[in-house]
Amino acid sequence: MDDTALALGALSPFELQDELGRYAAKADVPEVLDAGKGQPNWLATTPRHAFHLLGQFALGEAERGVHSPDAGWYPELDGIAERLTDYVDKQDDAPGAMLLGAVVDHGVTALGFDPEAWVAELVVGILGDRYPQPHRMLTHVEQLAHQYLLVTHGVPASAPGRFRLFATEGAAAAMSYCFQSLRRNGLVGPGDKVAIGTPVFSPYLQIPNMAEFGFEIVHVEADQSAGWQYPMGELSKLLDPDVKAFFLVNPGNPDTRSLGPDELRTIKEVVAQRPDLIILADTAYATFVDGFDSLIAELPRQTVCVHSFSKHFGATGERLAFIAMHEDHVIDRLLREQPPGERGFRAERYRSVTDDLDSFAFVDRVVADSREVALYHIAGLATPQQVKLALFAGFALLDEGKAYLAMTREVLERRLHALLEPLELDMPTGADTHYYTLLDVVELARRRHGEAFARWLLVSQHPLVFPIHLAERYGVVALPGRGFEATSWSVRVSLANLADDAYPRVADAIHATIDDLHTTYTDGGT
């Protein structure tokens, strides 16, 4: 098995995940338990019902007075708000009808939308027969998503300025777009340092290492013994003027805590000395932390926020996310301060979009770069997806959505307890999402069979021996921590994607694997 572990050690994290899945599929077990995936097994149904109900109304509007089979026309928008109200009233028993009406009303009463313009945007958007306009995000959808951003990220409504949002095809696309535009605008180039908070979602370790980027990676390492907080000594690496940007996932993956007050204070102190530091934060798990205090709340002019709707709403296949940047952002200042030669080069790059480079914010350059500038006129997330994003955001802001979120949090906590209790581990404290857990295999071995056995594992065995045996013998997939720049002898278990009763069985399989390795140890194996 050691030879197998050595061979698999050369694989990328996702290749390794696939291999472990193949091993698990061949195990002589009643059911494979794949705890390696972060896709939740819940999904928000009410906003989806509202989406399809709106779609039926929109199709009816497109087919009004039409006599050609299979065809419709651009809808007549005069009076469309009143017609939608009448339609929803007649569908009051239909799932999603109440939410659809409530989201429309919320836009009018809470955000001051003109009813005709708001409903027209939803109807035309869901029909998908027009390019996105504005390209960054539909006007009313952006304003609703802006309110969602403030509420979920702890930004006071009274905070000065606004955030510009760009709707994207998921967080992975958003982060890729950001890195591409940072490079193309001369803000980070080959040989520059980019700091990454680790452990972290494995693809984010690979993006900056792509040949076209050529960044030097600086690891800012969280301390497992301190509840995965970043020690001050690690955060002080950001004081290096050669570090152009700091990327992190907050709340974390695979660790699941959010930045605490001391860490936020230290980062703010770093920024006071490094006002040119760019921070990129992935906040996909923000909604699972009650009272989440985000970096865009603390450092709005420094932070580029990428937020995904995948986890909260059970929408990984929808590819819904947005980039949020404050209208007074350090990146835009850095762009204005570039030497004339560089500014001239960028002016030429974006000439087909604008002749006023100073007013062309970085987030708008990201939009243009996402379509190689030349295709800017057709940039933007598909409008039906933007409408669904709006319904998700509206749902989250209303009482029905709050009850749904409380349910998902309770499910995660219950599953984590079901896993940790048989392993005789304590529940994490503090601001934690409970979405994943990182298990220290050596510590579990020490607790179960003593110090000598734990030391033998460290000295004599390859770290991948544990997840390979767990998959091969017991049909359980857990991702090795090495793929996240966590400790080699750790494994990540997702609490989101298996049934509640699976987690005690995962715990039993973990103990059984440790016992099997202990048998090898007592038999004098190597």
pLDDT one-digit tens code per residue, 16-36: 888 999 999 999 999 999 999
Tokens of 127: 């029909």
Report the alpha-carbon distance of residue 257 to residue 434 in Å, rounded.
8
| Cβ atoms within 10 Å, residue 497 | 18
Report the alpha-carbon distance of residue 14 to residue 420 in Å, rounded.
26
Q: Where in the chain is the domain with CATH 3.40.640.10?
A: 155-391
CA 143 to chain centre: 21
Q: Which of these ranges, 57-71, 87-101, 279-293, 498-512, has the smallest mean pLDDT? A: 57-71
Report the alpha-carbon distance of residue 43 to residue 324 in Å, rounded.
24
The domain 155-391 having CATH identifier 3.90.1150.10: the answer here is: no
Q: What is the largest CA-CA distance in the chain?
A: 84
Q: Where in the chain is the domain with CATH 3.90.1150.10?
A: 2-38+424-522
Q: Is the pLDDT of residue 415 over 80?
A: yes
Backbone angles phi, psi at 477, to 5 degrees: -105, 125
Report the alpha-carbon distance of residue 390 to residue 406 in Å, rounded.
20
Higher pLDDT, 16 or 396: 396
Q: Which residue has the tokens 């992975």?
A: 172
Instruction: Let me know: does 309 contact 315? Beta carbons within 8 Å.
Output: yes
User: What band does 525 get if pLDDT is binned at 50, 70 and 90?
Assistant: low
Report the alpha-carbon distance of residue 427 to residue 193 in Å, rounded.
37
Per-residue pLDDT, 209: 66
Helices (H), 33-169: 46-62, 80-90, 97-109, 115-127, 139-152
User: What band does 229 get if pLDDT is binned at 50, 70 and 90?
Assistant: very high
User: What band does 211 get if pLDDT is binned at 50, 70 and 90?
Assistant: low
pLDDT in tens, 252-264: 999 999 999 999 9
Per-residue pLDDT, 258: 95
Backbone angles phi, psi at 24, to 5 degrees: -65, -35
Which one-letter amino acid corresponds to residue 404? Y
Q: Where in the chain is the domain with CATH 1.10.20.110?
A: 46-130
Span 201-205, average pLDDT: 77
One CATH from 3.90.1150.170, 3.40.50.970, 1.10.20.110, 1.10.1040.10 for 46-130: 1.10.20.110
Instruction: Let me know: does 276 contact 334? Beta carbons within 8 Å.
Output: yes
Class of domain 2-38+424-522: alpha beta
